[in-house]
Structure 1
Amino acid sequence: MSRLRRKRMIFLAKGRLVTLADAVAQELARFAAPPESDREAGGILLGRYRGPHVEVLKCTTPMPEDRRTRFGFVRQDKGHQEIASREWFESGGAVNFVGEWHTHPERHPTPSWVDRRSWRKQLRRHKSDPLVFIIVGTAATYCEIGSDGHLVAMGKIG
């Protein structure tokens, strides 16, 4: 009988802490393994702010209208926004959109110029709070946090 190993994800850089709930870490890991790893996947991150820190509590996963290819993911299904709105409403405004995640078909993921361009665009839309950006590879997970138009690498786990 195999036991599922829980691996809490915690990233720390420049006085900021990003934590992922176990359920989120497990869900992201699911898309880094076959058969899901055959195509990139992604979604949004939902959580709350604790001072300069971000606590990721939930995530969305690929939906029917999203585009998934071997080397790309485009989130376009309206279901992501619907889930974010519902979580915000049900939590009395405590749970918010805090970022996004996607996979890369590589062991140790590194952001592409397309990733960074997309992240900067998100930062221009969400000026008041920091945003978390996660890339899940087949052996490691990469995290950056962005605020005030600047991105800071938080490192890799794995």
Structure 2
Amino acid sequence: MILAEQVVAEIRRFTGPDEANLEAGGILLGCYRGPHVEILECTTPMPLDRRTRNGFVRRDPGHQRRALEVWKVSDRTVNFVGEWHTHPEERPSPSRVDRDTWADQMGRHRDDALVFVIGGRASFYCGWGENRRLVAMAAVA
């Protein structure tokens, strides 16, 4: 997995002191390159999304609109490749809710692997999801 610096910067923006009281999230947009995924862009919380201290629910149709727009502009090469959210902890790990939600996502996207990222204050959790199986990858510092 290749995670563009601007994506890391966007996610980190929501783990800082000004944002850390509410979880944030969005979708990951990128390209499949053989066995690799290159993540080029992410969406960030939008007005209709639900943010709480211990949860983020993506509700705003703007995430889907952005994915479709990027897909069209890229001549169908940039796609939805996963999702991200934050946890109010130093070194995040997926909760049971996260794992269940991701299993549902993997069920809907059976042909492609998905990437799941959780931003924490000190590091990121990165997971590779395929065939309803989640494998943790090296964290991004």
Q: TM-score range by the shorter chain?
A: over 0.9
C-alpha distance after superposition, 1:69-102 (max 9, x if no partner): 1111000000000000000011010000000000
2:66 to 53, 60, 83: 83
Q: 1:137 matched to which residue of 2?
A: 120
CA distance in 2, matches of 1:26, 1:69: 22
2:43 aligned with 1:60, yes or no? yes
Q: 1:66 & 1:149 partners in 2: Cα distance? A: 26
1:114 paired residue number: 97
Residue matched to 1:6: none
SS at match of 1:38: coil
Structure 2, gaps ≥5 residues long:
none
Shift of 1:115: 0.1
Residue 82 of structure 2 is matched in structure 1 by 99
Aligned mates of 2:106, 2:74 — CA distance in 1: 24
Shift of 1:148: 1.6
SS of the residue 1:37 aligns to: coil
Q: Which residue of 2 aligns with 1:44?
A: 27
Partner of 1:4: none
How many residues align? The count is 141
Partners of 2:78 and 2:30 lie apart in 1 by 5
Offset at residue 157 of structure 1 (A): 2.5
2:56 aligns with 73
- CA shift, 1:156, in A, is 1.8
**Runs in 1 of length 4+ with deviation above 2 angstroms?**
none
Percent of aligned pairs with the same residue? Answer: 58
CA shift for structure 1 position 36: 1.1
Give the CA RMSD over aligned residues.
0.7
Q: Offset of 1:20 from its aligned partner?
A: 0.8
Q: Which secondary structure does the structure 2 equivalent of 1:76 belong to?
A: coil
Where does structure 1 lack aligned partners over 5 or more consecutive residues? 1-17
Larger of the two Rg values belongs to structure = 1
Counterparts of 1:29 and 1:157 in 2: how far apart (Å)? Answer: 11
SS in 2 for 1:156: coil
Partner of 1:126: 109
**1: CA distance, partners of 2:54 / 2:96:** 13
CA distance in 2, matches of 1:65, 1:120: 24
CA positional deviation for 1:149: 1.7
